[in-house]
Amino acid sequence: MNVLYVEDDLEAQAFVGRALRESGFVVDTAADGQLGLERALETDYDVVILDLSLPGKDGFEVLRRMRAAGVASPVLFLTAHAEVERRIEGLNLGADDYLAKPFAFAELLARIRAVARRKRPGASERFQVGDLELDSERHAVSRAGHRIHLTPKEFQLLEYLMANAGYVTSRTMIAEKVWGYGFESYSNAIDVHVNSLRKKVDRDFEPKLIHTVKGLGYVLEDRSEAAGHRDDG
């Protein structure tokens, strides 16, 4: 995956850039908004990671010019400016996600992978993991040919988990993407809905597809051929 990381803190840029490369990413970096914009316009990146406070052009201006030039690369803001108003401004400009500093690197990886798989025009809206199928357009879910009836929120949650199949999604990510920014990620509503999904999607079927990754979040995947590499809860 090809990533552009725009960060003026050279120590942070070196640390995160190295960690991303060790995780298998191809990483280009820039230390100011102008160079970041030039690179974003020249290369079709899978993900662009932007700091907000940048010399030359701030992150919002870089994003504004990218979108005006027709650059559709997903953008993840990685910044200490985490106020709701700033998040809303960035999202309205065309950002795909927002992660506040300080952050856990595991969550940064999960968010990068999530925004890289965001839906593009013409992208399929059908998901399948094992014998579980979800059709976004028809709002239909089935497993092993049996129709499963979900509430609207359960459907949104399952759609998000299936769109990120194989990758851990944190409670914060689920809260933001399914319930919206400002929703308290420690609310038990997430646990309640995950448990409800398990009853409908997993209880009467094998293998189990919805797994808890202790201390991190949830992952939807078929472990029938590689079971036991994570602890379930």
Average pLDDT value over all residues in the chain: 85
Which range, of 6-20, 78-92, 116-130, averages the lowest pLDDT? 116-130
8-18: average pLDDT? 92
Of the spans 109-123, 163-177, 192-206, which averages the highest pLDDT?
192-206
- Give every strand in the sheet of 169-170, ordered side by side: 169-170, 217-220, 210-213
155-166: average pLDDT? 89
CATH topology of domain 2-116: Rossmann fold (3.40.50)
CATH topology of domain 126-220: Arc Repressor Mutant, subunit A (1.10.10)
Q: What band does 227 get if pLDDT is binned at 50, 70 and 90?
A: very low
Residue 205: how many other CB atoms lie within 10 Å:
16
**Beta carbons within 8 Å of 198's beta carbon, 6+ residues apart:** 208, 210
DSSP code at position 179: I
Domain boundaries of the chain, sorted by first residue: 2-116, 126-220
pTM of the model: 0.60
Per-residue pLDDT tens over the stretch 166-186: 888 888 888 877 876 556 656
Which pLDDT score is estimated for 180? 67
Q: What band does 14 get if pLDDT is binned at 50, 70 and 90?
A: very high
**Beta carbons within 8 Å of 190's beta carbon, 6+ residues apart:** 171, 174, 175
Per-residue pLDDT tens over the stretch 40-57: 999 889 899 999 889 989
Which pLDDT score is estimated for 122? 43
